[in-house]
Structure 1
Amino acid sequence: MTYLPVNSFKNGTFFKENGMPYEVIKYEHVKTGRGNATIRLKARNVKKGTMIEKSFPSGSKLEEADMNKKKVQFLYGDPKSGYFMDLETYEQFDVDREKLEGKIDYLKEGEQVYLLDFEGEIIGAVIPLSVTLKVTEAGPSEKGDSTSSVTKPATLETGVVVQVPMFIKVGDLVKIDTRNGSYSERVTNKN
């Protein structure tokens, strides 16, 4: 059992409380006048998906969640599951979409990602913070829409629908933030 000082936490750190694994979403170090510093955490229960907000005195320690990252290749998805292949054993298996929390919508077939294993159970996935995807469907563009902040829905090659600026058209490559599904930029050439 390893304990981590809360002062060393950062966004993305995993810890365990009451036997449940949590991921730090927001970390804040608060120093008040003469009082001791306090660490405020906003964390997500990675098994249930619920959020908590807690404060801890500086110097407190919490148990480290024993998370294993397994490198896998995404094969395909269906309405209920995502199908993956372990890159070491070549074993194929499925993971419920609920555990992947919408991250599967940004994965192309053949893409390599990490699955999070907690005590022998797959409880989540780690994917890139941004992905470049091709627009397969989009509404018409009007002349002069290049500087507008108005958006329209566009369907990307993985089937996910995102809001994009009016100047985006079918065939364009767009960079999408996978944390919230927002459009970042149009990509002119993919390296």
Structure 2
Amino acid sequence: MRFLLTKRLSPYLHHATASASPSPSSLPPSRRYASLISVALTDDRRSQPSVHHAFRRVLAAPWSAIQYRGLKLRGSDVKPGQIIEKRGVSHTSGKVYEVLKAQHSCQGRGGAVIQVELRDVDSGNKTNERLRTDEAIERVFVVQKPYNYLYTEDDIIVLMEPNTFEQVDLPKDMLGEAVAYLKDDMKVNVQLYDGKPVSASIPQRVTCKVVEAQAPIKGIGATPHTKKVLLDNGLTVQVPPFILAGEEIVINTLDNTYMTRA
């Protein structure tokens, strides 16, 4: 993070160095950066307003120094899980959305479009929109951090950062059906934008216990390829016919499908 911040500040520090007197390199190391910052903040606003104000913004919000924008995507490249910035007809500035679903469809003579479901990061409201395959979309990169699951209270999931013990609250609908798989101390990856959670995910492989299952059918007659079983988290999934009650199995949490015995 220090490297990224230094890289982002380097144009402003270079400008400050050019106009500073005495030269910062002649100062002791403990005063060098203090001198550069002081010069940048007292620079002539009329001659370099953009440098001055940009530098002040970075000092006021250090997080912005590592919040990347600028990568342009085509509509055809938009995928679920991405965070994008999109400017609507009624918005003078872009709004940030999480892509929940993206599906290609053909509109006859109108050509192919991408039907997307978006969630407004600020309000949490969901919306459906159509994107042209060649439409320019700006992707926003987020910071991903691992948290441990603590407990769920009403519609709020409480997580804890394992190193700092800082807690963060997530709305249950941010995880969707995956909420059923949460267990004590389970690792939850949270994507943060400007320090605010925008999406979260649990491990793809989770071990669950079968609490109810029909006994295997004996005989030569037709045997079903799968059967339904009830898991200890309340979910019902399809498994091979040889799985019995009391066994532990591994479930793919992306689509709630059986993977293997644990």
TM-score by length of structure 1 reads: 0.71
Q: Is residue 2:132 matched to residue 1:56? A: yes
Residues 133-191 of structure 1 show CA distances to partners (whole Å, capped at 9, x for unaligned) of: 222x11441433994146334122xx23222345432332223232333x32331xx4x
- 3-state SS of the aligned residue for 2:174? helix
AA of the residue aligned to 1:12: G
Q: Give the alignment's Cα RMSD to 1 decimal.
A: 3.4
AA of the residue aligned to 1:17: K
Q: Larger % of helix: which?
A: 2
Identity of aligned residues (%): 18
Q: Output the CA distance in 2 between the equivalents of 1:163 and 1:172.
A: 14
- 3-state SS of the aligned residue for 1:102? helix
Name the structure 2 match of 1:184. Answer: 258
Q: Is residue 2:143 matched to residue 1:68? A: yes
Q: Is the 8 A contact 1:68 1:117 kept in 2?
A: yes
Q: Is residue 2:80 matched to residue 1:5? A: no
Name the structure 2 match of 1:129. Answer: 204
Task: Structure 1: state its 5+ residue gaps.
Answer: none
* Structure 1 residue 115, shift from structure 2 partner: 1.3
TM-score by length of structure 2 reads: 0.55
- 3-state SS of the aligned residue for 2:244? coil
Q: Output the CA distance in 1 between the equivalents of 2:103 and 2:194.
A: 25
Q: Is residue 2:83 matched to residue 1:14? A: yes
Name the structure 2 match of 1:44. Answer: 118
Change in 2 beyond 3 A, CA 1:114/1:46: farther
**146-155 or 67-76, which deviates more:** 146-155
Q: Is residue 2:179 matched to residue 1:117? A: no
Higher RCO (Cα < 8 Å, 6 or more apart): 1
Name the structure 1 match of 2:237. Answer: 163
Q: Output the CA distance in 2 between the equivalents of 1:106 and 1:24.
A: 20
Q: Is the 8 A contact 1:38 1:55 kept in 2?
A: no
Change in 2 beyond 3 A, CA 1:154/1:24: closer
Task: Structure 2: state its 5+ residue gaps.
Answer: 1-68, 88-94
Residues 71-102 of structure 1 show CA distances to partners (whole Å, capped at 9, x for unaligned) of: 11122334433221113312234323233323
Q: Output the CA distance in 2 between the equivalents of 1:141 and 1:46.
A: 47
AA of the residue aligned to 2:136: K
Q: How many pairs align?
A: 180
Q: Output the CA distance in 2 between the equivalents of 1:139 and 1:111.
A: 26
AA of the residue aligned to 1:15: I
AA of the residue aligned to 1:4: K
Q: Which has the larger radius of gyration?
A: 2
**145-154 or 1-10, which deviates more:** 145-154
